[in-house]
Structure 1
Amino acid sequence: MRLTELPRTTSFRLALMFLALFGTCSLLLFAFVYWQTVGYMRRDQDEFLQRQLTFYSTLSPADRVQRLREHPRNDPGTRRPSGEFAANGQWLVGNLSVLPAELRQAHQPVDFVLPSAGAPVPFRGYATQLPDGHWLAVSQNVHEPREFEALLLRAMLSAGLLTLLFGLAGAVALGASSMRRIDAITLAIRRIVNGALTERLPVQGGSDDLNRLTREVNGMLDDLERLVHEVKGVCDGIAHDLRTPLTRVLGGLERAQRRASTVEEFRDAAARATEEIAALLKTFNALLRISELEAGARRAGFSDVALAQVLADVVDLYQPLAEEKNLTLQLSGTASPTDITLWGDASLLFDACANLIDNAIKFVPAGGHIEVRLDAEHRAISVTDNGPGIPASERKAVLNRFHRNEPSRSTPGNGLGLSLVAVIAHLHDMKIDITDAAPGCRVSLSWSAR
């Protein structure tokens, strides 16, 4: 992680944007609080001075002089000095010994400074000229209020500065954390690009935007890894299931070329070759159909499908084959199965059920039982048999193309039946489950209500 890249991160920029917004709001709030507080304190001081000036102005000259002479005893600290002055500003009475020029010139309360033994002391005063030409002045020591105002201003400036510093630190921390996560994701992507398909993007705890995105990407990588393995499996299957028949065709034709001497022998060789090639074409057609279904090309023809009728047609089709192998093929269902409909393609659903029944007929021994069930309550179609079943370790793999649960591959088939069922189920938003029927196998196709 390079700090020079930090300002370019989205998290850092967003943090700075919110910091600027929050800082501006805080500054306006601090200014409003300061203005209201200082304004309230100064209005209170001015109202006090106005009351004092009005009180002294309404007294008779003799009473006013008497009050001003007694005022120093009531104000020993000279916190609120008052006094009367001649028209030329000469002190006459009171504990305010000097009439500042600011008071004579202003017609409202103003600040002024009086000298003292130490530093000059700030006061706020108000003066008016009496009818006899004398000046009456009242004042108040505002050293503590002004100190409080300065303290309040410093506190707000300090709070603003701390807010700015902590905000910047938070922006840097957020940007650095985002960069670390992006760097980790970038490294994981590079490893994946270099061939480590088992690698996954790191996901931290929580459900923020980046975690949701990485989870989706990891799901895509899971599908990609599965597809790559399927491609490898397809290649292996092609090597065995397609090359072997072609080898037999070539061998048969070569033998016929060398040994056949009659038209009948050539016809037999051609018939066997035709049969092998037809099986190959059937396999290729199945692969093409699976690819077409995976692309979702058949969704445009969806409509409401009566599942009971589809299952009845499939069972009728395979009933003779089951009887020929001495198997019992039975269709059952819960109450009112005729009311069950599914939004889908009737021919594809027919093919899916046909493949399940065909698989069961292939592997269930003579005397066995196959049940096709339509479950209205759980919205599921199931095909259950009492054959050898599928081991738990193989139940996921049998859905892959060309995978066969029979290593010897002696049973007819190309390993695409359950793959086609899985693709059709996915196209119809159905879930396929392979479970143990104890004994035998149960394959279920279930769906959710629309």
Structure 2
Amino acid sequence: MRLNELHRTTGFRLATLFLVLFGVIAMLLFGYLYREITGFEQERIDDWLIREHAELKREAPDELAARFEHQNRFDPRHQRPFGLFEASGKHLAGGYAGDRPAIPVFDKPFSMRLANVAGHPPGRCIAAHVADSRIALQCQDTLELDHFDDELVQALLSTAMITLVIGLIGASLIGISAMRRLDAVTASIEEIVAGNLSRRLPVHSKRDDVDRLVGVVNRMLDEIERLMSEVKGVCDAIAHDLRTPLTRMLGGLERAQRRARTEPEYRAAIEEAILETAGLLRTFNALMRISEIESGVRRAGFTAVDLAAVADDVFEFYEPTAEDKQIAFKLARTVSGPLEIQGDPNLLFEALANLVENAVKFAPHGGAVQVTLWHDERGSGVTVRDDGPGIAPRERDAVLRRFYRGEASRHTPGSGLGLSLATAVAGMHGMILSFHDPDVGCEISLFKPTQSQLADSR
């Protein structure tokens, strides 16, 4: 960003806006102070004139001229020129020389130019009718007050200009700082767009609103990078996992083409191809199921679901399989009554069924599998435990990815999508899928956390 685009930055605009608001407030404050200060000085002069006017009214008529001449002797600079005039306007006594000026109002203070005083300064005066149709005029030179007013205005204007300059400089510095941050963010974004998904937006130590936004974007980029890596891993896994059944199916069909002569031989080859195709379809159906769940389309149809009833159905469904393997299959409850959550009963059944199926599959012949319903300060959920080979702690994150097969399951039938589907269902329902560390086997919990537990996990 160039300097001529500085005015477009949000920081510069906000700083300028606050400068304008401060300027308006300062102008109102300065105007109020100016009016109060000048008004106070004028009120002080008017009070003095009114007092002099009251004393003049009490003065004896034959002593007025002597009073005005006495005042004149003590006012050589004519700061307070008094004048006594005949009805015709002729000057009789006092320091206000010359004929009587035009008087706009009597017995009230008024402003006028002291035309008969050197320099014709501005003044504040009061006039009164006295005995023998004479007119008394008492004035106060306000030149110093006007000079003070001018100085005050100049000081206020100078302060306003200095404030404006400093404010614009501050706004420019803020704008330049914002430009540099935006330039760094823009450069990082352009690098990310160019294909470097490991690049992250720079975070400063200020921890302001921009840094919070950058932090959110960086977490989003982490998630995008994870998803891209997962997509690549899924593509590689699909290519790897489908190559074997496709190779077997192709090999079987080629052998049938070369060797088969009778109908039973052709029928056996076709059945083998059908079995391989069905396996492939199950894999693709599982992938599509996970994608559907992760899209959240079915979240709109959530209803109140009794997790205990779902666990009962899963237990009943897998009880015959456990009996065939002579597994001690048990459903335990640590709390009575229903465990209601908002969700999709079919998806919850599918997620819990995958956990139980894995437990029954990997439990040894004559082993034990226990499904436990619980409710405590963590929330409400189901825990599935078996005494099989378990999952190594280093593999627990990996087994939740699609197509991942751990060391213990590498030689058992399956597509490696069961735990991925359970994780997707858990995320859709705001639930948590967590591993525990039993002495023997594997223990996994699927539970709906409380609000406090959810806040701690974040």
Length-normalised TM-score, structure 2: 0.86
Aligned match of 1:305: 305
| Amino acid aligned to 1:352 | A
Please identify, of 207-216 and 388-397, the stretch whose mean Cα deviation from structure 2 is larger.
207-216
Instruction: Summarize the Cα distance change of 1:146–1:315 in structure 2 as closer, same or farther, 3 Å threshold.
Output: same
Range 78-87 or range 247-256, more displaced: 78-87
Give the 3-state SS of the residue equivalent to 2:305 in structure 1. strand
Pair 1:434-2:456 in alignment: no
- Tell me, in whole angstroms, the C-alpha distance in 2 between the residues paired with 1:97 and 1:22: 48
- Residue 375 of structure 1 corresponds to 374
Contact 1:432 1:444 in 2 (8 A): yes
In the alignment, which residue of structure 2 is the partner of 1:53?
A: 53
Write the letter of the residue equivalent to 1:275.
Answer: L
Range moving further from structure 2, 438-447 or 273-282: 438-447
1:392 corresponds to which letter in structure 2? P
More divergent stretch after superposition (284-293 vs 60-69): 60-69
C-alpha deviation, 1:73, in angstroms = 7.3
- Write the distance in 1 (CA, Å) between the matches of 2:37 and 2:98: 29
User: 2:264: which partner in 1?
Assistant: 264
Give the AA of the match of 2:428: L
Name 1:360's counterpart in structure 2.
359
Partner AA of 1:410 in structure 2: H
| Match status 1:421 vs 2:429 | no
Number of the residue aligned with 1:384: 385
Q: CA shift at 1:296, angstroms?
A: 1.7
Determine helix, strand or coil for the equivalent of 1:370: strand
Q: Is the 8 A contact 2:97 2:117 kept in 1?
A: no
Decide whether the 8 Å contact of 2:334 with 2:374 is kept in 1.
Answer: yes
Partner of 1:328: 328
Deviation of 1:141 after TM superposition, in Å, equals 4.1
Q: Is the 8 A contact 1:389 1:436 kept in 2?
A: no
1:298 aligns to what SS in structure 2? helix
Give the stretch that moved more between structures: 63-72 or 252-261. Answer: 63-72
Whether the 8 Å contact between 2:383 and 2:444 is mirrored in structure 1 is yes
The answer on 1:342 being equivalent to 2:341 is yes
| CA offsets 1:268-305 (integer angstroms, 9 cap, x no match) | 33322222221111101101111111122222432221
Query: In the alignment, which residue of structure 1 is the partner of 2:222?
Result: 222
Which residue is 2:132 aligned to?
132
- Closer/same/farther in 2, CA of residues 100 and 335 from structure 1, 3 Å limit: farther
Compared with structure 1, are the counterparts of its residues 233 and 357 closer, same or farther at alpha carbon in structure 2 (3 Å cutoff)? same
Other-structure match for 2:19: 19
Describe how 1:389-408 pairs up with structure 2 within 5 A: 389-406=390-407
SS at match of 2:436: strand
Whole-angstrom CA distance in 2 between matches of 1:276 and 1:381: 34
- SS of match in other structure, 2:357: helix
Change (3 A) 1:71 1:305: same
Equivalent in the alignment of 1:152: 152
SS at 2:199 equivalent? coil
Distance 1:218 1:429 in 2: 23
Q: Quick one: which amino acid aligns to residue 343 of structure 2?
A: G
Q: Normalization by structure 1: what TM-score?
A: 0.88
Q: CA deviation at 1:187?
A: 1.3
Residue 340 of structure 1: CA displacement? 0.9
Structure 1 gaps of 5+ residues are: none
Counterpart of 1:295 in structure 2 is 295
Are the aligned partners of 1:305 and 1:342 in contact in 2 as well (CA < 8 Å)?
yes
Change over 3 Å in CA distance of 1:257–1:100 after alignment to 2: farther
**Does the 8 Å contact 2:389/2:408 carry over to 1?**
no
Q: 1:193 to 1:36 in 2, by over 3 A?
A: same
Find the residue that maps to 2:407 and give its secondary structure: coil
Residues paired across the two proteins, number: 445
Deviation of 1:316 (Å) = 1.9
Task: Give the alignment's Cα RMSD to 1 decimal.
Answer: 2.9
**AA aligned opposite 1:52:** E
Gapped runs of 5+ residues in structure 2? 452-458
The amino acid that maps onto 1:347 is: N
Partner deviation per Cα, 1:320-347 (whole Å, 9 max, x = no partner): 32233343222112221x3211211111
Distance 1:99 1:133, change over 3 A: farther
The one-letter code sitting in structure 2 at the alignment partner of 1:381 is V
Q: CA deviation at 1:349?
A: 0.8
Within 1, Cα distance between the matches of 2:133 and 2:363?
A: 129
- Tell me the secondary structure at the aligned position of residue 376 of structure 1: strand
* Aligned equivalents of 1:437, 1:83: Cα separation in 2: 114
Q: How many angstroms apart in 2 are the aligned matches of 1:414 and 1:345?
A: 24
For the structure 1 residues 246 and 78, does the alpha-carbon distance in structure 2 shift closer, same or farther, using more than 3 Å as the test?
same
* Secondary structure of 1:447 counterpart: strand
Q: 1:148–1:368: structure 2 CA closer, same or farther, 3 Å change rule?
A: farther
3-state SS in 2 of match to 1:339 = coil
Cα distance, 1:313 vs structure 2: 1.5
CA contact (8 A) 2:307 2:381 kept: no
Kindly state the Cα deviation for residue 23 of structure 1 after the two structures are TM-superposed. Answer: 2.3
Aligned residue identity for 2:402: R
Residues 14-93 of structure 1 mapped to structure 2, 5 A cutoff: 14-71=14-71, 79-85=79-85, 92-93=92-93
Instruction: Using the TM superposition, name which of 309-318 and 208-217 deviates more.
Output: 208-217
Aligned counterparts of 1:267 and 1:409: Cα–Cα separation in 2: 31
Q: How many Å separate the matches in 1 of 2:383 and 2:192?
A: 39
